[in-house]
Amino acid sequence: MSRSSAQPDSGPASPRIGVYVCQCGGNISDVVDTATVAKTAALIPGVALSKVHAFMCSEPGQAMIAEDIRNEHLNRVVVASCSPFLHELTFRTAVHRGGLNPYLYEHVNIREQVSWAHHGDPAGATVKAIRLVAAAVHRLRHVEPLEEIRLPNHRRALVIGGGIAGMKAAGDLAGKGLDVVLVEQSATLGGRVNELSTLFPAEESAAPLVRRLNDDLQAHPRVVVLTETVVKAVSGFMGNYDVMVGPAPAAAGAASGADPQEGRHLTVGTIIVATGYDYYRPAEGEYGFQRHPQVIPMPEFITLLARASGETLEWQGRPVRRLGFMHCVGSRQIEGVHPPQPDGRVNDYCSRVCCTTALHQALAAKRRFPRMAVFDFHQDIRTYGRGHEDYYLRASQAGIMFFRFHGDDPPVVEPGSNGTPIQVRLKDWLTWGEEVVAPLDLLVLAVGMTPRDNRGLVSLLKLPVGADRFLQEVHPKLRPVETAVNGILLAGTAQAPMAIDETLASASAAAAKAAVLLAHDEVHLEPFKARVDPEKCVGCGVCFAQCAYDGALVREEGQREGAPITRAKVNPGLCVGCGACVAVCPTRAIDLQGWTLNQFEAMVDGLLSAPQPVAATNSNPVSDGRTH
């Protein structure tokens, strides 16, 4: 590792490094001899002072660091404490408060990686802590002040999908004074809600709901609605997305001989994906689907009931006197019991809305046709939402008969033998598993929600997809509407099965998050990005092949020793700082800001040259803040 000494030191002429060792209230000091670590660290060249504290992250601990920077003229700081996930930002802020550039700081993890990992070997743990501190000190000698990267932020949002989620998100954003473009591939807004009649739990009609959302959009001059339009291409990054939209395939075909419209370019800061769901389509023969014409999926029944007139409900010219509802069709499937989906998996998730939908429709049918016998076949009743359980209670009270099957032994639909066209045969666990036959005139399959086949959009936006094929958020609780792609958010059932109220709540959440991202004229990014030294770049192009992030490396024409050359240049908006290009550059022209090769080499030097532990005197009281 002599190479580092051959390189010019990029740090200050006389580094004054402060080392702070945290006891974490015994979490660290019960194993690691923190006083010894501090005392030994003082011997490492460049360390101006070293201290121990019971809780370095406490307000006094942080204040001590800021004070020492000012009083002792420290120009670098090391804190040896817990995982950087917990407190790296805390101490970076403390360093900044002391007047130093926040990136002149190094966080050493001596809790998860030392005291918790080596609690059986205190002496060894103490040595390891000293080595890690030494590595950090050596690295700090080579760090430079860094600045956050600031990029212009285009304060406009794109919402993909004109169902109620997209409409709500667009309306909310416009209400916050932001420009929105809403693209919808079909000719009308409202999506699947347009196919519904009345909605639970408030029994309002679907049409006025869509109308009100639409009115909100129309009222806002800031909203541009593009129907029969799809996203054709996407490039750029958060704050600077360049999106090309064009006519939806069906609409393009309908364009009467006009030139196939070239795409229209939009520059937006953030994108909300609100592409919705599809209904599960049962396999042929699944609960008699397509074998018996009396077996129909829920959407078809909703339309049938909404349009019913007269004294009896009729299906294909026959009165429906006995109506059944089958729950969990396409949901909560079990491998080996249900036919797999094209990707080989079964839909093992719960679609959440079908239970209440089934009860809602069963009750509506029973009220409309009181003499009709209505049967409900379920594994469980999951009426989880506010007001949903009332449907279950009312359905029971109205005399709807419930039967419960086990998921691994689903009911069988067969030709009827008691004067009806079909019958359902099941082991009813409410009747101690007895085999029960329910003769039916019509069976409604409460089909679940499945993810839309959005392959094109998923690859355009590089969207993360979950094991259930729905789009996936970063963290289900802490970052529920963000995707792993910065600036791309999720709204509604593209993410997971949701009821209408949840869909709208999720759309509002996405709009609120988008408004945060669009709040400023600039986007601030961490400075840990690759940087090309144009003096060293010879234009070999090896790095391009390694870069996994489209557009992070761009080609730049230039001159080298009088000859034209195509150099690499980093687009910091798209670079994630993975370092793949650094590793392959033959001339060491590329380095990662904040994590340069020099710094890594210095760390190795530090690990190897760390001083032997110097026993601290017992008289040294803990957390006195004294300099060793």
Q: What residues numbered 141-200 form the site for another protein, per CB under 8 A?
A: none
Report the residue from 345, 368, 406, 425 that binds another protein according to the rule CB under 8 A.
425
Q: Return the ∠ at Cα 272 (arms to 191 and 197), rounded to 5°.
A: 20
Residue 370 binds another protein, judged by CB under 8 A? no
Q: Does 431 bind another protein (CB under 8 A)?
A: yes
Q: Work out whether the CA dihedral 395, 396, 400, 405 comes out positive or negative.
A: positive
Q: Does 538 interact with another protein (rule: CB under 8 A)?
A: no
Task: Compare residues 288 and 606 and give the one whose CB is closer to another protein.
Answer: 288
* Residue whose CB is less far from another protein, 78 or 381: 381
Closest to 446 in 3D by CA, of 298, 324, 323: 298
Residue 267: both structure tokens together: 């520059």
Residue 198 or 396: the one with the smaller Cβ distance to another protein is 396
Nearby residues of 538 by Cβ (< 8 Å), 6 or more positions away: 560, 565, 586, 587, 589
Q: Where do we find the tokens 């491998």?
A: 335
| 389 is a site residue for another protein (CB under 8 A) | no
* Residue that has been written with the tokens 């005139």 in this structure: 441
Structure tokens at 425: 């045969």
CB 375 within 8 A of CB 343: no
Q: Which of 420, 426, 431 is nearest to 407 (CA)?
A: 426
> Of 68 and 428, which CB lies nearer to another protein in the complex structure?
428
CA 272 to chain centre: 12
Query: Under rule CB under 8 A, how many of the chain's residues touch another protein?
Result: 24
Nearest approach in angstroms of CB 164 to another protein is 32
Candidate residues 63, 430, 554, 583; the one interacting with another protein per rule CB under 8 A: 430
With respect to another protein, which residue has the nearer C-beta, 211 or 367?
Answer: 367
Interacting span for another protein (CB under 8 A) from 56-64, 297-305, 354-362, 400-408: 400-408
Stretch of residues binding another protein (CB under 8 A), selected from 15-23, 155-163, 210-218, 393-401: 393-401
C-beta closer to another protein: residue 80 or 374: 374
Helix (H, G, I), strand (E, B) or coil at 448: coil
Only one residue has tokens 């196919």, namely 195
Residue 98 burial class via C-beta count within 10 angstroms: exposed 0-12, middle 13-18, buried 19 and up: buried
Establish if 559 lies at the interface with another protein (CB under 8 A).
no
Query: Contact region for another protein (CB under 8 A) — 151-159, 287-295, 426-434, 504-512?
Result: 426-434
* CA distances, 595 to each of 15, 525, 571 (Å): 18, 16, 18
CB of 430 to another protein, least distance (A): 5
Residues 434-463 that bind another protein (CB under 8 A): 434-439
Among 187, 393, 538, 608, binds another protein (CB under 8 A): 393
Stretch that binds another protein, among 181-189, 389-397, 501-509, 545-553 (CB under 8 A): 389-397
Nearer to another protein by Cβ, of 60 and 419: the residue is 419
DSSP annotation of 114 reads I
Nearer to another protein, 240 or 383 (CB): 383
Decide if residue 117 touches another protein (CB under 8 A).
no
Residue 312 lies near another protein (rule: CB under 8 A): no
Distance (Å) of CA 61 to CA 22, 65, 558: 9, 7, 51
Residue among 405 and 470 whose Cβ is closer to another protein:
405
- Closer residue to another protein in complex, CB, 256/397: 397
Binding residue for another protein, selected from 402, 470, 495, 504, defined by CB under 8 A: 402
- Asked if residues 366 and 308 have their Cβ atoms less than 8 Å apart, the reply is no
Give the H/E segment covering residue 395: helix 388-397
Of 315, 375, 391, 470, the one binding another protein (CB under 8 A) is 375
Burial (CB count within 10 angstroms: exposed 0-12, middle 13-18, buried 19+), residue 396: middle
φ, ψ (nearest 5 deg) of residue 189:
-90, 160
What is the smallest separation between the CB atom of 403 and another protein, expressed in angstroms? Answer: 8
526 touches 148 (CB < 8 A)? yes
Nearest to 410 by CA among 427, 396, 394, 422: 427
Binding test (CB under 8 A) with another protein, winner from 200, 392, 405, 470 = 392
Which tokens sit at 145? 């002040």
The reply on whether position 406 binds another protein by CB under 8 A is: no
Token pair recorded at residue 371: 């003499």
Give the interface segment with another protein, choosing from 241-249, 401-409, 442-450, 592-600 (CB under 8 A): 401-409
Provide φ and ψ at 342, rounded to 5°: -55, -30
Residues that bind another protein (CB under 8 A): 373, 375, 381, 392-393, 396-403, 418, 425, 428, 430-431, 434-439
